[in-house]
Structure 1
Amino acid sequence: MRPTPASMLLLVAWAAVGALALAGVAPMAAWWWTAAGLAALAGLDAVLLRLQPTPTVERRLPEALPVGHGREVELQLASPRRQRLDVFDLHPAGWPAEGLPRRVRLVPGQAAVLRYRIDAAARGLAEFAGTQLRMASPLRLWTQSRVVGSPRHVRVYPDFAPLARLALLSAEQASRVVGAHVRRRRGEGTDFQQMREYRVGDSLRRIDWKATARARKLVSREYQEERNQQVLLVVDTGRRMLASEGGLSHFDHALNAALVVSWLGLRQGDAVGLMAGGGASRWVPPRRGTGALDALLRASYDLQPEAVATDYLALAGELARRQPRRALVMLVTNVRDEDSEELLAAVRLLQRRHLVCVASLREQVLDATLDVREVADLDAAVTLGATAHYLRQRAAAHDTLRQHGVLTLDVTPADLPAALVERYLAVKRDGLL
């Protein structure tokens, strides 16, 4: 319980009476009577405040939130007495919020509705500890803070908002929205898709003569890439993925891109799984169907990279043990020159059974450093030279992987979703798996 400015004004008035008494203008008894009256008034007001009923608060918000997106939270407050109070919801620390704190007047028999917007700043299990109410006494001499409501836990998932938008599109349209350059080969593939009218350029072997006789016009069979294959997204959770760009860590960029590829793979009829290793580990075996994406989201929402070195050989050994069937393994990491030998050994181990693609994240600041047109001083020259040397070493490590038949991507986090989708579709189109 804290005094208000009104209490301070009463103390000033009491002090003024005391000054008058010392000056002989007023009797000393007036000062004592004033002190007794103010103390009784303040005490009564404090007792009345403590006897005030605590309003009830009901919070409404989704069970799950996407990271980096604003959502509306609704608070409903009710009280059996007329009250005026300040409301602050105890949302997770570090989450930007708009519309708090708020002053609310409660009327008996009516629920007051308060809405505010909040941005989920980080993935994981977040806690809303309760709602803090600052209540004023009837005479406004005191305020008291009370925390009401039970704690509420909310799961903050990777950004699934793009997946919701892509769900309204076909697989090919979604690929183009992501930014992948899709090249189609008409009539290729091994799985039958549909019958359609003959087009100039169709192979004569694709013509269905029975259907042609019934329709009295040329009808071709159209095939699609083979379905029911397996795709495994492997995301590094080691120290290489702690770098941050655009408000998200490289790991978050990698996870978001993996979810986009997973969604597309499921739409293509493939089984999709997820493996995380290097720091925190997680395993979701490949599966098909609409529930597969939910399983990936639930398994990955609380994953975070750790400041440890990634053991690529151990990761490859674990993957080989868990995944006996041939699959497209897409490893997202940040390849450095000092890791090239161990990474190559791990990839060669996986290549005995799987088709391996390594996506190496490149920091955008490296490209920006090389784009500098003028070198003003020695420090800038050293920075430019060191960056160019580092990128040459990095390119050499990538070339070594390519020489051993490893599909290798060198991309910035912003370009990662399109690059992974494009490579996945190319593998399907060319029948590499």
Structure 2
Amino acid sequence: MTPSRNLPIIMAALFLLALPLGTLSAIGIAVPHWLDSLWWSLLLAVVLLAALDALRLQHRTSPQLLRRLPDRLLAGRWNTVELEIHPSAAKPLTVAIFDHVPDSMTSENLPAALFLLPGKTTRFSYRLRPLRRGHFHFHYCEIHLPSPWKLWQQRRLLSLPEEVHVYPDFIRLYNAQLTATPLANRQGRQRQPHSGTGQEFHQLREFREGDTLRQIDWKATARRRTFISREYQAEAEQRILFLLDCGNRMRSRDGELAHFDHALEACLLLAHIALRQGDAVGLATFSTPQQRYLAPAKGQAQMNALLNALYDLESTRQPADFTAAVGELLDRGQQRSLVVILSNLRDEDNDELPVALAPLLRRHAVVLVSLRETVLDRLRRRPVASFEDTLAYQGAMTYLDARENLHRQLMTQGIALLDTSPDELAPRLVEHYLARKASGAC
């Protein structure tokens, strides 16, 4: 409990009144006795009133509060939260309210001064912006309650527990993609027929130069007494499986977000687009004790399942183990899919990675996304003006050359590789998917 502004003002007025009385007594001028008695009576009255007012405040019932949160909060986006206040006082009351939001969120319009009328519900809204995704808790709402005579105010913490889930704002990336590229038109364009050895039977035709023996339909050949080939096209509906690295190499940070967050948002963006195309989408994680796996499925329900599986997933300090990740994936017995691996390749992967991915390539198409630190690009472009600059430039070029050698080695195995900065990851991944979809290479 603390004094309001009124009590110090009253006390200051009393002491200002005592100042001339004391001055007159000090210079030997007689002061009427009744003035002295009056001042002490006023002081005693103020003290008694203040004590009584404090006692009444202690017994004053707190208003009832109700917090209304959106069903889903998006990281980085402003959301509206409503507080509903039911007063318990029999007279009008002015209170100050402050909602204790989680540390990882910022707010606007708090604290707020509200005028409460007896028997009437008051509603107040403030804006809330989560800075990161995850699972968070609200615990208290703080209210500053005045005493009946406005001499005191009391700070009370009202228990108002609530849980909230904050999801990645992949729709922001989707809208940006629509603005930057003619994505909406490209999603709706017709697939081109793709002759050859896709996965879906298209038609029978006469054998042509370049056809393989596997394409020959021997029963049709016997009936027609000429070689007949089966023509295939890529399946109109595909299966996409993300393999997301959650290990220590994804903890690198460029700007506000870590590489892991860029990769996660890119996965959700591509999943959103692929599901709208009718494809089945799934996800598996590795290098984390919190293993997440969603079998490929279609429809909006799968998008909700992906959001619920990933919203609180964090990167760890574990090293990337590609061999174990590929082994676990193959043990699940997946149908042929487009496997999109998101990681940050290093020069130490030269020996393990090509061997680890070889079994995966025999059963699936593989796209390997390697995130590149933007600081390397800056070092490569920065003018060399000192010996320290020379060392930094040489170190960056040596590291980048080792990465490029690994990339070339992987591409010779038939792996599609995207080497990209975090900011360009989402648009480049979507462009690659749409190009594969249009060509029938998925």
Pick one of 357, 365, 369 that aligns with 2:375.
365
Deviation at 1:243, TM superposition (A): 1.9
> Which residue does 2:325 correspond to in 1?
315
> Which residue does 1:395 correspond to in 2?
404
> Which residue does 1:219 correspond to in 2?
none
TM-score (norm 2): 0.80
Deviation at 1:92, TM superposition (A): 1.2
> Which residue does 1:197 correspond to in 2?
none
Deviation at 1:142, TM superposition (A): 1.8
Deviation at 1:333, TM superposition (A): 0.5
The question of 1:98 aligning with 2:108 is answered yes
> Which residue does 2:366 correspond to in 1?
356
> Which residue does 1:415 correspond to in 2?
424
> Which residue does 2:2 correspond to in 1?
2
Pick one of 254, 272, 289 that aligns with 2:281.
272
**What amino acid does structure 1 have at the position aligned with 2:142?**
Q
The 8 Å contact of residues 21 and 31 in structure 1, kept in 2 or not, is answered as no
> Which residue does 2:75 correspond to in 1?
67
The question of 1:87 aligning with 2:97 is answered yes
Deviation at 1:363, TM superposition (A): 1.6
- The size of the alignment, in residue pairs, is 398
> Which residue does 2:250 correspond to in 1?
241
> Which whole-Å CA distance do the structure 2 matches of 1:361 and 1:294 have between them?
26
SS at match of 1:40: helix
Deviation at 1:273, TM superposition (A): 0.2
Deviation at 1:229, TM superposition (A): 2.6
> Which residue does 2:155 correspond to in 1?
145
Structure 2 CA distance for partners of 1:167 and 1:16, relative to 1, 3 Å: closer
The 8 Å contact of residues 130 and 166 in structure 2, kept in 1 or not, is answered as yes
> Which residue does 1:214 correspond to in 2?
none
> Which whole-Å CA distance do the structure 1 matches of 2:11 and 2:159 have between them?
36
SS at match of 2:160: coil
Structure 2 CA distance for partners of 1:345 and 1:106, relative to 1, 3 Å: same
Deviation string, structure 1 residues 142-171 (Cα, Å, up to 9, x no partner): 2212233531211111114248859999x9
TM-score (norm 1): 0.81
The 8 Å contact of residues 230 and 286 in structure 1, kept in 2 or not, is answered as yes
> Which whole-Å CA distance do the structure 2 matches of 1:8 and 1:166 have between them?
56
Pick one of 382, 386, 392 that aligns with 2:395.
386
> Which residue does 1:119 correspond to in 2?
129
Deviation at 1:368, TM superposition (A): 2.3
Structure 2 CA distance for partners of 1:365 and 1:71, relative to 1, 3 Å: same
Matches within 5 A, 1:1-400: 1-12=1-12, 33=41, 36-81=44-89, 82-148=92-158, 150-162=160-172, 173-174=183-184, 186-188=192-194, 225-279=234-288, 280-372=290-382, 374-400=383-409
> Which residue does 1:215 correspond to in 2?
none
Deviation string, structure 1 residues 99-132 (Cα, Å, up to 9, x no partner): 1111111112333222221111111112222321
SS at match of 1:234: strand
Deviation at 1:76, TM superposition (A): 2.1
RMSD in angstroms over aligned alpha carbons?
Answer: 3.3
Structure 1 or 2, whichever has the larger Rg, is 2
The 8 Å contact of residues 174 and 269 in structure 2, kept in 1 or not, is answered as no
> Which whole-Å CA distance do the structure 2 matches of 1:312 and 1:60 have between them?
45
> Which residue does 1:200 correspond to in 2?
none
For structure 1, the 5+ residue unaligned runs are 194-222
The 8 Å contact of residues 17 and 30 in structure 1, kept in 2 or not, is answered as no
**What amino acid does structure 2 have at the position aligned with 1:56?**
Q
Deviation at 1:269, TM superposition (A): 2.1
The question of 1:405 aligning with 2:414 is answered yes
Deviation at 1:276, TM superposition (A): 1.5
